[in-house]
Amino acid sequence: MSGRTPDAKAADTGLKAWLTTRDHKRIGIMFLVATTAAMALGGVFALLLRLELLMPGETIVDPMTYNRLFTLHGVTMVWLFMIPVIPSGFGNYLLPIMIGARDVAFPRLNLASFYIYLVGAAITLAGMYFGAADTGWTFYVPYSTTSAAALVPVLLGVFTLGWSSVLTGINFIATVHTMRTEGLGWMRMPLFVWTVYGTSIIQVLVTPVLGMALMLIGFDRLLDWGIFDPARGGDPVLYQHLFWFYSHPAVYIMILPAMGVISDVVCAFARKNPFSYEAIVWSTMGITFVGLLTWGHHMFTAGMSTFGAGAFGILSMLVAIFSAIKVFTWVGTLYKGSIALDTPLLYVLAFLFLFIFGGMTGVAVATTSLDVHWHDTYFVVAHFHFIMVGGTISAFLAALHYWLPKLSGRRYPERLGRLGAAGVFVGFNLTFVPQFLLGNRGMPRRYFDYPPAMHTLNAISTVGSWVLGASMLFIASYLLRSLLRGEPAGDNPWGAAGFEWRTSSPPPVHNWTGEPPFERGAYDYTEGSPALEGARDE
Amino acid sequence: MSDLLRQLLMLPDPASEAAREIDVLHFVVLGTTLVGFLAVACVTAWWLWRYRRRGDRPTERVTGSRRLELSIGGALLTLFVGWWVVGFLQYLDLQDAPEGAEEIYVTGKQWMWKFAWPSGRAVVGVLPVPVDRDVRLVLTSRDVVHSFFVPALRMKQDALPGRFTRLDFRADRLGTYPVYCAEYCGQSHARMGATVVVLSAEDYADWVAGRTPATLVPLLKGREVPDVAAEGGLAAEGRRVMQRVGCLACHSLDGSPSVGPTLLGLYGSEVELQGGERVVADSDYLTRALRDPNGQIVAGYDPVMPSFEEQLSAEERVAIFEALRALGDEEAP
Ligand SMILES: [Cu+2]
Ligand SMILES: [Cu+2]
């Protein structure tokens, strides 16, 4: 195993050594840097959108610029940030360590998937900048096949990003199947590994369908095939089916790894085994597979059959149950624990509360008659931002704080951490709670303008976006400072039992010196747990 | 109570009984969510306090009983399925306007809504409808996908190019209600609005007959309202279109045999297809017959009907559709 990466080269810290590395840890960090930059960019677009909506009427941008901005915001946040951040970033760094491996199964492919991501991101952003695509991230036909903007570059970019996603998925599946250390059975794997594994399966199964759908739009535009052109017997609704066949499961690509983070963090800070390990594992697999069958709930008003609407509605409810089971399991984990309210756990709490609302409003919009009113309004916008921002970004921040010592060997200032978490929570709610009400009122999404009666709620939401933006900046600044000058953390500052904490922080080139010490479980905090020996009291 | 909740939740005043029923489900769902949330929050807060860390002590291993988990999961599933049942029944209810509903054609195009009545009335941006009567909107689009959204009715339906979709409702409160386009459709998507005007039966009859009731005067100011009624209404227009594009070369309108089946009395009748399947020639069937003529072949005929999709505008298709419907009511002599 050790012949894979020459030691001397791997320990080299020069730029070239980084760019040609096959070390999963470095690839993970590069993914984290790139995706976090994408988040910042997507965030700036969001702030501009909210600024336009501060007042009714056309204010800072014209309608077409607004349309391009929300397209940019969606495309950047979904494909450049949300989809890759946790699996390709934290997953890359941690998954091999968590199963006692020395790298992923295909280290070269892993590096390739990073470069494919970069190329895809470059094509997408350049394509958006020069092509001025304005279709929204959904690329609905026939608008997308007929709009004047140059769309093909963006489609090509997203298509390329899909490859990165699939390759990483295949790599992780192979790694989990073949590279677990001696004695690490499936039901002893850390929950984070399970969720990344589930995510990888989804990525491999559905991403090709997206690629195909986007390619068909490209052919329609370039070669005039008319696949979606009703004038030639084509069907626009077919495109919607193909798109959501990918994009609904994509929601789980974004949220499942986040759930893995939450599962691990909650155990570490409650110093307890999960209330039910099996429940989390099976609900993860449930989401993975049942989630593939619910896409039609995005199309209740698109003229689908009533039978279809009913079937997709009930299947969506089933997926919600799996998520609910997870929520109960996380809360149950606190029972009889030894709980420290450090920043990562604060983000877990934020995640829990926002996710309950995000999830329950999800059940609400899957209820057919209610969705007829809410579909394509701000209610839906608020709902999925509760899941994506309240869920995934909370988990991302929890992960950043929890694993910062692992990645860098340094600590962040706890007090500032808590302050940042509070800021994010307040800013988030100010931004998105009013959007539920706007949706009730009937404000459709993708509107640069709205009736004056909707002004107050929009203004509150915009102010909220400033609080959220400022908090994110604040967090970025102290985290960057900690990276350079933070207090040394030691190997296991949290006294966590997770496998990744059983090697030094940061880990050596091949993760382990000697055999990984995995005899005691990853969630074992009972008498004699080695995790508690190194723990420091505060 | 409902009104108070509606105000708190900023829901617009409902203009139909269906909207009121949907709101009740909305309140139940929201209420349950809040109760569930509070329960979880209280338990969490209590345990956070009760089990706060006091020194580095080990904890005991606790695992949930499968019984407990299954029963919580089961209870929730029952609850969700309950919502689904109620919601789905409401959804089914929304879909079926009874026979004899007032039909109005709606055509979306970038960036306006155009409404047309069988009588030949047509106007952009204002949709007069009768109070306390079932109305069926037959929607289509001239270019991209749009979505016809009336918050006060809690209803929306996509308008698709090349297809007819339906939206049924029964408004029971006089007044004007805003319409938005809810599916992104380009530059002026945010300004693709219209107004639904619920009129009394008399006023509505006036409007359809070609007069302009007083309530509509301010709304129609500056709008072009062509008086097609003089030329025999939408059905007559449809016959003219059929004559022009050549349908009548193969179809008769008086029951006489030709290359294709006669269109007289077709609408609403039962048609036998090649292969023995029998279907009712309802609006869905006619939509398909025009879109994809060889997708379903009438028994005893050859698949020779060409597709007219590229030649016909949305308005012309609407007119033909109306002509076929009108012919359906007539009997062969
Ligand atoms: Cu979905
Ligand atoms: Cu529109």
Please provide the DSSP assignment of A330-363 as one string.
HHHHHTT--B---HHHHHHHHHHHHHHHHHHHHH
Domain that holds residue B250: 231-328
Q: Which of B41, B55, B155 sits opposite A372 (nearest CB)?
A: B155
Summarised one tens digit per residue, pLDDT across range A448-480 is 999 999 999 999 999 999 999 999 999 999 999
Q: What CATH number does the domain containing B243 carry?
A: 1.10.760.10
Comparing B269 with A356, which gets the higher pLDDT? A356
Cβ contact, residue pair A339, B33, below 8 Å: no
pLDDT of residue B228: 59
Ligand lying nearest the CA atom of residue A366: 1
Q: Is residue B258 part of a domain?
A: yes
Summarised one tens digit per residue, pLDDT across range B50-65 is 999 998 888 989 887 7
- So where are chain A's domains? 21-533
CB atoms within 10 A of CB A153: 19
Separation of alpha carbons B203 and B221, rounded Å: 17
pLDDT of residue A536: 44
pLDDT of residue A362: 92
8 Å CB contact between A268 and A173: no
Q: Which amino acid is at B127?
A: L
8 Å CB contact between A345 and A266: yes
Q: Does B280 touch chain A (CB under 8 A)?
A: no
Q: Which of A310, A370, A532 sits opposite B22 (nearest CB)?
A: A370
pLDDT of residue A3: 42
Q: Rounded to a whole number, what is the distance in Å from the CA of B332 to chain A's nearest CA? A: 33
Separation of alpha carbons B213 and B218, rounded Å: 10
Q: Which of A64, A301, A441 sits opposite B158 (nearest CB)?
A: A301
Cβ contact, residue pair B156, A309, below 8 Å: no
Q: Does B20 touch chain A (CB under 8 A)?
A: no
Average pLDDT over residues B20-32: 94
Separation of alpha carbons A26 and A15, rounded Å: 12
pLDDT of residue B333: 52
Q: Is residue B25 part of a domain?
A: yes
Ligand lying nearest the CA atom of residue B148: 2
Please provide the DSSP assignment of A169-235 as one string.
HHHHHHHHHH---TT--GGGS-HHHHHHHHHHHHHHHHHHHHHHHHHHHHHHHHH---TT-GGGT--
Write down the ipTM of this complex.
0.91
Chain B residues close to A447, C-beta within 8 Å: 189-190
Q: In chain A, positions 101-130, which contact chain B (CB-CB < 8 Å)? A: none
8 Å CB contact between A65 and A128: no
- Tokens 């106007």 label which residue? B123
Q: Does B12 touch chain A (CB under 8 A)?
A: yes
At residue B293, the 3 state secondary structure works out as helix
B190 plus B258 within the same structural domain? no
Ligand 1 centroid vs B32 CA: distance in angstroms? 22
Q: Which amino acid is at B52?
A: R
At residue B273, the 3 state secondary structure works out as strand
Separation of alpha carbons B61 and A191, rounded Å: 17
At residue B2, the 3 state secondary structure works out as helix
Chain A residues close to B26, C-beta within 8 Å: 364, 370
- Secondary structure letter of residue A499 according to DSSP: G
Q: Is residue B55 part of a domain?
A: no
pLDDT of residue B267: 85
pLDDT band at B279 (very low <50, low <70, confident <90, very high): confident
Identify which of A292, A314, A310 has the alpha carbon closest to the alpha carbon of residue B78: A314
**Which helix (H) or strand (E) element contains residue A36?**
helix A24-52
B84 plus B116 within the same structural domain? no
Domain count, chain B: 3
Ligand 1 centroid vs A106 CA: distance in angstroms? 32
8 Å CB contact between B162 and A238: no
CA torsion angle A340 A343 A348 A351 (round to 10): 150
Chain B residues close to A376, C-beta within 8 Å: 147, 149, 156, 182-183
Q: In chain A, positions 337-356, which contact chain B (CB-CB < 8 Å)? A: 337-341, 349, 352-353, 356
Ligand lying nearest the CA atom of residue B108: 2
Ranges of beta strands (E only) in chain B are 102-109, 112-116, 122-124, 126-130, 135-141, 146-150, 155-159, 165-169, 175-181, 194-199, 270-272, 278-280
pLDDT over 70 (residue B332): no
Q: Is residue B235 part of a domain?
A: yes
pLDDT of residue B162: 80
CA torsion angle B278 B282 B284 B290 (round to 10): 90
Summarised one tens digit per residue, pLDDT across range B188-226 is 999 999 999 999 999 999 998 888 899 898 888 877 776
Ligand lying nearest the CA atom of residue A315: 1
For each of chain A's 538 residues, which pLDDT tens digit applies?
344 445 555 567 788 889 999 999 999 999 999 999 999 999 999 999 999 999 999 999 999 999 999 999 999 999 999 999 999 999 999 999 999 999 999 999 999 999 999 999 999 999 998 888 999 999 998 899 988 888 999 999 999 999 999 999 999 999 999 999 998 999 999 999 999 999 999 999 999 999 999 999 999 999 988 888 877 778 889 999 999 999 999 999 999 999 999 999 999 999 999 999 999 999 999 999 999 999 999 999 887 888 889 999 999 998 899 999 999 999 999 999 999 999 999 999 999 999 999 999 999 999 999 999 999 999 999 999 999 888 999 999 999 999 999 999 999 999 999 999 999 999 999 999 999 999 999 999 999 999 999 999 999 999 999 999 999 999 999 999 999 999 999 899 999 999 999 999 999 999 998 889 998 999 999 988 877 765 444 3
For the ranges A75-79, A417-421, B77-81, B159-163, the lowest mean pLDDT is seen at: B159-163
Q: Is residue B139 part of a domain?
A: yes
Separation of alpha carbons A220 and A235, rounded Å: 12
Q: Is residue B57 part of a domain?
A: no
Q: Is residue B81 part of a domain?
A: yes
Taking all residues of chain B, what is their mean pLDDT, rounded to a whole number?
88
Ligand 2 centroid vs B113 CA: distance in angstroms? 8
Cβ contact, residue pair B149, A442, below 8 Å: yes
Chain B residues close to A366, C-beta within 8 Å: 84
Give domain A21-533's CATH superfamily: Cytochrome c oxidase-like, subunit I domain (1.20.210.10)
pLDDT of residue A28: 96
Separation of alpha carbons B148 and B93, rounded Å: 19
For the ranges A34-43, B121-130, B234-243, the lowest mean pLDDT is seen at: B234-243
Q: Does B144 touch chain A (CB under 8 A)?
A: yes
Q: Which of B60, B149, B186 sits opposite A336 (nearest CB)?
A: B60
Summarised one tens digit per residue, pLDDT across range A89-112 is 999 999 999 999 999 999 999 999
CB atoms within 10 A of CB A54: 16
Q: Is residue B41 part of a domain?
A: yes
Positive or negative, the Cα torsion across A381, A363, A375, A247?
A: positive
Residue percentage of chain B with pLDDT more than 70: 97
Q: Does B125 touch chain A (CB under 8 A)?
A: no
pLDDT of residue B18: 93
Q: What are phi and psi of B141, to 5 degrees?
A: -130, 150
Q: What CATH number does the domain containing B138 carry?
A: 2.60.40.420
Q: Rounded to a whole number, what is the distance in Å from the CA of A490 to chain B's nearest CA? A: 17
